[in-house]
Structure 1
Amino acid sequence: MEEDLRGYFSAPMWTEDEARGQNPLVLAYIGDCVYELFIRSRILHRNEKVARLHRASAKRAKASAQSALAEELKDFFTEEEAAVYRRGRNAHSKTTAKNASVADYRRATGFECLIGYLYSSGNTARLVEYFKEIERIWENEG
């Protein structure tokens, strides 16, 4: 059974050129899922009830937190990654921010777009570098 499921979850979904050609909101949609899985996998070691786990992951996943990460990671972006981030940040969506400023929401969308691009193009080594850098940032927060 495991052999049958592998193709559904393995990257790359597209070549880098194909990923660059995707609608940035599609990449952000994928990136949101990948980032949420990353967050949840990092907090599972806590021996807490699900409600507390959810609050902890929501704190990291909210637009303002993603926006702050994007700002901290700007110097980490390659030129290509910066271009993908800007495409996501500047994408027009009919969705509005619930509990975030428009600027935070747009930066968060850019961040998710970048994560989605790295994942879907199979650049998992670079994605891991980002996740390690994010963990470093989190450790320095508190």
Structure 2
Amino acid sequence: MENYFDITMTDDQLRTISSIGLAHMGDAVFEILVRTWLCAHGKATGKGLHQATIALVRAESQAEMAGRILPLLTEEEAAVFRRGRNAQVHSVPPHASRAQYGEATALEALLGWLWLKGRKDRINELFCTMMEE
């Protein structure tokens, strides 16, 4: 039986997953990191917590955060990021530009790829950099 809480996929397995699939996984990873960060920083209060989560997981915020980590990415990570940014998305939320949505999708694809690769340490490192003020 697989342990889906602690999965490690091979490079060959990861190459079979589409950019959209990686972004789908990364969206969930980012959401749980943001929720954990908000709770750990004392922002766990009902409606305010939900609004704070939404503000951080919006494409505009993700695009800004992606800019903070781009210089830190390895060549392999940067390639995954570019692959995610070039994904063919069919709709863009009205509050985000296509460029912002592309950067957000790229960030999510990178996080999904790192998660499936079993690189929680690297995800945490990048997330901490994203959340620095």
Same fold (TM over 0.5): yes
Residue 15 of structure 1: aligned partner: 10
- State the one-letter code of the partner of 1:98: P
Question: What is the RMSD computed on CA atoms of the aligned residues?
Answer: 1.7
Count matched residues.
132
Aligned to 1:82: 78
The answer to whether the Cα contact below 8 Å between 1:20 and 1:84 also exists between their aligned partners in 2 is no
TM-score by length of 1: 0.85
Q: Is the 8 A contact 2:38 2:44 kept in 1?
A: no
Q: Determine helix, strand or coil for the equivalent of 2:88.
A: coil
AA aligned opposite 2:103: R
Which is worse superposed, 20-29 or 108-117?
20-29
Q: 1:59 aligns with which of 32, 52, 55?
A: 55
TM-score, normalising length from structure 2? 0.90
- Unpaired stretches in structure 1, ≥5 consecutive residues: none
| CA positional deviation for 1:9 | 2.2
Match of 1:97 among 87, 93, 99: 93
Q: Percent identity?
A: 34
- Structure 2 residue runs of 5 or longer lacking an equivalent are none
Q: Is the 8 A contact 2:60 2:104 kept in 1?
A: yes
Q: Are 1:32 and 2:27 counterparts?
A: yes
Q: Is the 8 A contact 1:64 1:104 kept in 2?
A: yes
